[in-house]
Amino acid sequence: MRNSKIRLGRIVAAVVIIGVFFLWVLRQLSVSGPPIAIIRVVDAAGQPVAGAIVRPAGLRTKAGPYSSGWYAWRADQNGVSNSPVRTANDGRATVSYPRYVFERIETGVLCFEVNHPDFAPFNPEIAVDTTPPAGASVSVILKYWLDRVRHGALVVRPDTIILCKGATLRLSAAADAGGASGLPMFAQVKGLSASDTNSWLRPEPGVLITRRLAGGAYILRAVRIETNGVASFSQVASSTATVGQSNLVNLTFTRGATVRGELDASVPRPVRNGRVIAHVWPQDCKAQTSPPEWHAWAKVRDDGGFEIASLPPGDLEIVALCDGFISTNGTGKFNFRYPQNHVLGTNDLAITIGMEPTARLEVSVLDNEGKPLKGAKVVTWPNVRYGEWAATIFASDCYNTVDWFSLTAPKKPLSWNRTVADFEGVTDSNGLAVLANLPPTTKEFAVDHDKFTLPATTMPGGGRKERYAGVALIAGETNRTSVQLEPINRAPIAHY
């Protein structure tokens, strides 16, 4: 009997010790810093690749209602640096990553850009945490552990990144190339930055070489830029690159065309704060095949006229926005704004852009006690969709592709997008925010504040929750609505 009591006491003591240790581990996990992924980069033979630059680019969530989305990794929003890291001699790089993509939606996959001058660029997505998210059902958790045991994998390690050698591509200007001669060439091809000296060599005038072209099908175009910014474009070439072989392409060039025109007569003159944005795709190329695209914009004059020079031939998509008016919607399959379409050849093109009135929205924002809230930012994000493929906030893309073609570093950082003041407003002391120039197709808005947020709404199908407020706008009128917020940490969005 005495021995039984001793054994029972030892068992109880062991259980207590294990329980205390388990609670300590949980506490350590709850107060520790961001999780860490150890990424290993190797070549096709399995040998470590030292000196590869691993650049964090994006995040995906764990399995569940939010797993289909891609989320930008921004240090200011996610609280963890996305600075690039370099692999050590053993091919390993340590990457800290955000525990949550947003609120309490857990990170499951990291998206990277991996570059090394001896290999083709690679954009892998690495699973870093496959455990069920918080709130998962007992059946989901049991299935996860049973699968782990069944496959003998009690420790999950990120997949190894395998870099492959690239094919050699040699571009040369024909003797009668046309366009401006004596200028350096740049190439537009998927995966390679046109100005990256690690990717492109210029052994002699009129020749451009890369040894980092990914094997397989490719579509490319070469560009020459004069000192005044005028561009000449080669024909669009497509072929299949074979690693270990040299792929030769001989090119001719034609100077870009100019699109000029005006906003239609429905827009009163003088036109205020007008801008026109053009996007050109090569003809007979689908956007999803990553053909060489071209983007440019110009301000609209007071008289409603505009001019965008040096555009390549192809399918032209064009949009416009000014105070009180937006370009009429083109045709498309989804709930976006769409450009107006034209075909651009090698000759200049004159067009008139159809316009329609925008809407004014006044939003009254209240705190959780029903009092007006000052300093809350009300934002909308009406998207324009190019090529029935890529979407961005309307008029945020006021940039010129030509600015990315240079043999020297730019004097100031270049940006693909910018904030559109038309689509946001900050509440005053009365809790009122004014968004004075919205597309009438705008359907929703969000509110940003450091202490308060919109209550989460469950979206139809799938169980996702979003912090948006719906709105129906009437063009040419002032539309009014109000929202009441809740404390920001009252009910964070989680997977389940």
Token look-up 């007071």 returns: 302
Q: Considering the entire predicted model, what is its pTM?
A: 0.88
With 50 as the cut, is the pLDDT of residue 123 above it?
yes
* CATH among 1.10.260.40, 3.30.420.40, 2.60.40.1120, 3.40.50.300 for 257-487: 2.60.40.1120
**148-194 pLDDT, tens digit each:** 666 555 445 678 999 999 999 999 998 765 655 678 899 999 999 99
Which CATH architecture fits 37-162?
A: Sandwich (2.60)
| pLDDT, position 34 | 87
The contacts of residue 294 (CB under 8 Å, 6+ apart) are 279, 280, 311, 312, 314, 401
| Model confidence pLDDT, tens digit, residues 447-472 | 999 999 999 999 887 678 999 999 99
Give the residue from 323, 296, 326 showing the smallest Cα distance to 309.
296
Tell me: the pLDDT tens digits for 294-331?
999 999 999 999 999 999 999 999 999 999 999 999 99
Q: Does residue 50 surpass a pLDDT of 90?
A: yes
Q: Which residues contact 13 (CB under 8 A, 6 or more apart)?
A: none
Q: What is the pLDDT of residues 77-105, one digit of tens each?
A: 888 999 999 999 999 999 999 999 999 99
Phi-psi group of 198: left, alpha or beta (phi > 0 → left; psi -120 to 50 → alpha; rest → beta): alpha
What digits encode the pLDDT tens for the residues 191-223?
Answer: 999 988 889 999 998 999 999 999 999 999 999
Of 2.60.120, 2.30.30, 3.20.20, 2.60.40, the CATH number of 167-255 is 2.60.40
Which region among 17-26, 315-324, 382-391, 451-460 has the lowest average model confidence (pLDDT)? 17-26
For residue 362, what are the contacts with CB-CB under 8 A and spacing of at least 6?
Answer: 432, 433, 434, 435, 478, 479, 480, 481
Q: Give kind and range of the element (H or E) at residue 172.
A: strand 167-173
* Cα(251)–Cα(174) distance, integer angstroms: 6
Q: What is the mean pLDDT of the chain?
A: 90
pLDDT band at 13 (very low <50, low <70, confident <90, very high): low
pLDDT for position 32: 58
Give CA–CA dist 304/261, Å, rounded. 8
